[in-house]
């Protein structure tokens, strides 16, 4: 049998790892492409070498991490096939990622692509008709091999041309996990990869925030999406955005996300949440932001709280005395 070279699409979960390994076991050289966007996989940004080393050490897989965040925002804004239960445009997402993989395959003269999809596993994107749409729209018909359920699908070029032995491919279908667990056991995979965080577009609370921001702003950046993932969010009447950290690590993250023009707020003398106000702020906005922040601090039952604010990361030069906001006010501002 001829040897080939392939790319696999590594989602970070078990199925794509198994699919990759099944094909590697047939003597094919596989590089696993792991696409990241601010909605999934982004914690690997800047840590690429560490993750690549980990996949190699734990699973013997050569991985490549590719940030497609900017382009992906366009997919999320107007998906041709709509959204799933939350803000997840699964079919368009796959069309986009598979198209990118196909382009790379052509550029680097690889023979075919591999995905870990299983027929009938997911309601939106892994139905037979959806799989066909994805192949057609991404230009991957005939070159996309799904080793875990290949025996239920038409043979691909890799199979008909003899690069891959179809008899060694599988016929898994449905939502059960047992066949995958057994296969992992057989392959000696004990530490299952966990796709940390999963896809945030399927998280009901975050999806709601993402939807609102896409509806309200014609221009969204990766940074905007990262910003929406931290803390409690409030929208003031002038369109300013207030974020209140819920934990120490979120306070730190807000410090990192701080940029020129933002205002930082903290309750004086009481350790607790940090507030970040984005957008031009007049005195009344600072007052409102301060009272919301005070509501989430240990001063929430006090009649008055003193809040410090400033426009630099390490300088809180202003002060304001406010009453902590009431529940009604809080819920009317929530974003």
If DSSP codes are grouped into helix, strand and coil, which group holds residue 273? coil
199 belongs to the binding site for ligand SF4 (CB under 6 A): yes
- Interface characters, 119-148, with ligand SF4 (x: CB under 6 A): ------x-----------------------
Closer Cβ to ligand SF4, 94 or 233, answer by number: 94
If DSSP codes are grouped into helix, strand and coil, which group holds residue 265? strand
Name residues contacting ligand SF4, limited to 271-290 (CB under 6 A): none
Return the structure tokens found at 254: 């807000």
86 belongs to the binding site for ligand SF4 (CB under 6 A): no
d(CA 266, CA 261): 17
Closer Cβ to ligand SF4, 115 or 297, answer by number: 115
| Greatest CA separation for the chain | 80
d(CA 55, CA 334): 40
d(CA 169, CA 53): 28
Beta bridge partners of 267: 307
- Interface characters, 230-269, with ligand SF4 (x: CB under 6 A): ----------------------------------------
Closer Cβ to ligand SF4, 21 or 94, answer by number: 94
88 belongs to the binding site for ligand SF4 (CB under 6 A): yes
Closer Cβ to ligand SF4, 113 or 322, answer by number: 113
d(CA 196, CA 92): 22
Instruction: Select the residue interacting with ligand SF4 from 131, 201, 242, 325 (CB under 6 A).
Output: 201
Report the length, in residues, of the chain: 335
Contact set with ligand SF4 (CB under 6 A): 40, 88-90, 93-94, 125, 199, 201-202
């Amino acid at each position: 049998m001829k040897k080939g070279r392939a790319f696999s699409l590594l989602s970070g979960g078990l199925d794509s790892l198994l699919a990759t390994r099944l094909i590697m076991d047939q003597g094919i050289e596989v590089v696993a492409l792991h696409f990241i966007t601010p909605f999934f996989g982004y914690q690997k940004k800047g840590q690429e070498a560490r993750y690549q080393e980990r996949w190699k050490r734990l699973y013997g897989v050569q991985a490549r991490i590719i940030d497609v965040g900017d382009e992906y925002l366009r997919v999320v804004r107007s998906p041709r096939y709509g959204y799933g239960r939350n803000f997840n445009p699964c079919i368009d997402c796959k069309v986009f990622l598979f198209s990118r993989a196909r382009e790379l395959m052509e550029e680097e003269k690889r023979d075919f692509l591999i995905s870990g999809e299983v027929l009938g596993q997911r309601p939106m994107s892994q139905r037979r008709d959806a799989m066909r749409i994805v192949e057609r729209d991404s230009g991957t018909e005939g070159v996309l091999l799904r080793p875990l359920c290949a025996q239920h699908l038409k043979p691909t070029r890799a199979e008909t041309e003899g690069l891959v032995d179809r008899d060694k491919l599988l016929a898994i279908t449905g939502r059960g996990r047992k066949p995958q667990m057994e296969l992992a056991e057989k392959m000696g995979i004990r530490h299952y990869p966990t796709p940390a965080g999963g896809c945030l577009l399927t998280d009901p609370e975050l999806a709601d925030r993402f939807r609102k921001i896409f509806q309200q702003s014609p221009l969204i950046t990766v940074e905007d999406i990262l910003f929406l993932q931290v803390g409690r969010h409030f929208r003031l009447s002038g369109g300013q955005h207030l974020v209140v950290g819920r934990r120490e690590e979120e306070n730190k993250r807000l410090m990192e996300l701080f940029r020129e023009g933002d205002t930082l707020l903290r309750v004086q003398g009481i350790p607790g949440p940090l507030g970040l106000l984005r957008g031009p702020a007049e005195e009344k906005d600072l007052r409102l932001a301060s009272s919301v922040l005070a509501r989430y601090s240990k001063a929430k039952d006090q009649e008055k709280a003193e809040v410090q604010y400033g426009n630099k990361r390490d300088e809180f030069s202003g002060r304001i005395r406010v009453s902590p906001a009431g529940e009604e006010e809080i819920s009317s501002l929530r974003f």
